[in-house]
């Protein structure tokens, strides 16, 4: 169950970071609400996952999910460009996250 909490926490982080793109100098209030609620949920689930998973591993996986997730959203939704080097290094992050899960 801890790994499911961790996955959802990482996905909530992605949702919150995406909402940051829509704040537009605090003109829009809905994204602020999404950010606050999203990060609260994310941190709560991360703390629940840390009850069973070592803190360093949980945090590394959580941040890896967020990094890879927001990168993918940037490419697919916001049409951001990514170099081959960036893809290679993001792949290493993904490999590290998978390796950490398998090591526990």
- For residue range 39-80, list pLDDT tens digits in order: 999 999 999 999 999 999 999 999 999 999 999 999 999 999
With bands split at pLDDT 50, 70 and 90, how would you rate the model's confidence at 84? very high
Q: Averaged over 5-26, what is the pLDDT? A: 94
3-state helix, strand, coil in the chain (%, to 5): 80, 0, 20
The whole-angstrom separation of Cα 25 and Cα 22 is 9
The reported pLDDT for the residue numbered 35 is 96
The whole-angstrom separation of Cα 74 and Cα 70 is 6
Q: Averaged over 12-30, what is the pLDDT? A: 91
Q: Are 49 and 58 in contact (CB under 8 A)?
A: yes
Residue 4 has pLDDT above 90, yes or no: yes
Domain holding 48, by residue range, is 2-103
The reported pLDDT for the residue numbered 78 is 94
User: Could you give the 3-state DSSP secondary structure of residue 27?
Assistant: coil
How many distinct structural domains can be found in the chain? 1
The whole-angstrom separation of Cα 31 and Cα 103 is 37
Whether this prediction's pTM lies above 0.75 is answered by yes
């Amino acid at each position: 169950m801890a790994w499911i909490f961790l996955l959802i926490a990482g996905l909530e982080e992605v949702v919150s970071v995406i909402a940051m793109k829509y704040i537009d100098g605090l003109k829009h209030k809905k994204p602020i609400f999404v950010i606050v609620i999203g990060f609260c949920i994310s941190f709560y689930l991360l703390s629940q996952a840390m009850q069973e998973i070592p803190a360093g591993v949980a945090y590394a996986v959580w941040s890896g999910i967020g990094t890879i997730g927001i990168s993918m959203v940037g490419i697919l939704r916001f049409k951001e460009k990514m170099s081959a080097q960036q893809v290679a290094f993001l792949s290493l992050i993904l490999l590290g996250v998978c390796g950490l899960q398998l090591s526990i």
